[in-house]
Amino acid sequence: MSLNYLNFDYAEDTEGVGTLEAMASTWSHQVLAVQAEIARVLGWCYATLRQRGPLEEGGDWDYDLQGMQEFTTPETIQYDEATRQLSVQVGPAGRPRHTVTVAITGSSEFCSEFRRHFALDDSV
């Protein structure tokens, strides 16, 4: 099952704990599709290992989910040779960009199965 918005990177520590991290940055019209993809990923995690919680407290897996909206505003910048100063004129705010990050931690076995299920790479 492939993913369209989330591109996961994988790292593993010396104790065998794996971390899968992804970020999606989209326009407003794509937000619902990104949220549906995150819900599908987390739904699979809950169905695969039901004991969610910090690994150091006995959990099988855990996740961190963050989101933000960013508004870009163009600037026109000019250099005044006589005063040796820059002048900046701020334009109108652009449309918002929605960014979501998700980090999932679990055993190396869980992370391997995750990568296999979501067809993240050919090395598992």
Q: Which residue has the higher pLDDT, 60 or 38?
A: 38
- pLDDT tens digits along 15-32: 889 999 999 999 999 999
Residues pairing with 27 in the sheet: 97
Note if the pTM is more than 0.75: yes
pLDDT of residue 2: 85
Supply φ then ψ for residue 19, to 5 degrees: -130, 125
Domain boundaries, the chain: 9-68+97-117
Q: What is the DSSP letter of 83?
A: T
For residue 7, name the pLDDT band (cuts at 50, 70, 90): very high
Mean pLDDT in the chain? 93
CB-side neighbour CA atoms (13 Å) of 31: 10
pLDDT band for position 124 (cuts 50, 70, 90): very low
- DSSP readout, the chain? ---SS---EEEE-TTSEEEEEEEEEEEGGGHHHHHHHHHHHHHHHHHH---BS-GGGT-SEEEEEEEEEEE---EEEEEETTTTEEEEEE-----EEEEEEEEEEEEHHHHHHHHHHTT--S--
pLDDT, tens only, 78-99: 999 999 999 999 999 899 999 9
